[in-house]
Amino acid sequence: MIHLGIDELQVTLSDFVVTITLNRPQKLNSVTQEMSNALVEVAGWVNESAEVRSVVITGTGDRAFCAGSDIRGLDRYATPWDFRNRPDYCDAIRGIRKPVIAAVNGFAFGGGLETAMSCDIRIASTTASFAAPEIKLGWIGGGGVSAFLTQSIGQSNAALMLMTGDPIDAERALAWGLVSELTEPDALLARATEYARTIASRPPIAAETAKANLRAAVNMPQEQAITYERDLQTVCFATEDANEGRRAFAERRQGVFSRK
C-alpha cells in the first residue's frame, strides 16, 4: 500500500479497488501542487500494482467533488512557462492505465470538471453541478476540457459551457451525456464502488485493453481504430486469463483471473 504523508489526499485499497479521495473540504477539495504531486505518485503506483484493478475518485463531503486548482497557489509560479510545465493532476489521472470511475458528489468546476472528464466513467450525485468557469477569470482550462466536452456533449453544448463559464446541474449533465448515471448523495460512493468491483472482477488485461481501445476509437481514423482493436483482441487471446475465461465458460463456473 502506498503511503503519501499528505492528509489532503486519501488512498484506500479493498478488493482490488483503490479509492482516491480529495480531502480538502474546507476549500471545496481544490487541488494544491502538493496534492497534484501526490496524485502523480499514486497514478504510478496504481499502474504498477498487481493489487489494483480499478479506481474510484471522489471528494470529501457533499459540497464539492473538486473545485479545481487552488487559485491562490497559482502565483507561486515564477513564469507562465513554469506553470505550463508543472506536474498536472489531470495528466496523472489520464495516465492511469486501469479503469477509473469518478464519483462526483458536488461541484465539479474548472480542474474538477477536467478531473472528472479524465476518468473513464462518471457517476454523479443528484446535487452535483459542472462548470468550466475559467473564462470568468481571463483564461481557459488546460487539462483537456475542450476536447473532452466536445467528445461527450457535442460542440454546441461544449461551447455553451466554455464560453459562458456557467454551471449545469446534474439532470442536464445526464441528458447531455456528461455522466452515465445519477444517484442520491448518500448512495453515490457505494454505487461507484459497485461498478468498480464489477470491473475488477473481469480479466484485468482485457479491462486495461478495453480502456486503451476506447481511447484509440476517439483518436484514430475509423479503419485504423478497427485494425488496432483487432490487434488488441489478438493480444488478449494470447493471455492466460483468456484461456481461463474459455475454460470457465465451458465448465459453467466463474473465472479466476490472474492478470497474466
CA nearest to 77, candidates 36, 115, 21: 36
- Write out the E strands in 105-178: 107-109, 121-125, 129-131, 168-169
- Per the annotation, the verdict on 114 as an active-site residue is yes
- What torsion, rounded to 10 degrees, do the Cα atoms 144, 65, 24, 188 define? -140
- DSSP SS3 for 83: helix
Q: Which single residue is written with the C-alpha cell 486501469?
A: 98
8 Å CB contact between 69 and 105: no
Cα separation, 107 vs 132, in Å, equals 11
- Per the annotation, the verdict on 34 as an active-site residue is no
Q: Identify the active-site residue in 41, 48, 134, 208.
A: 134
Provide the CB-side half-sphere exposure for 210 (13 A, CA).
Answer: 15
Cα separation, 150 vs 156, in Å, equals 8
Q: Identify the active-site residue in 41, 48, 114, 181.
A: 114
8 Å CB contact between 65 and 104: yes
Cα separation, 75 vs 13, in Å, equals 35
Active site positions, annotated: 114, 134
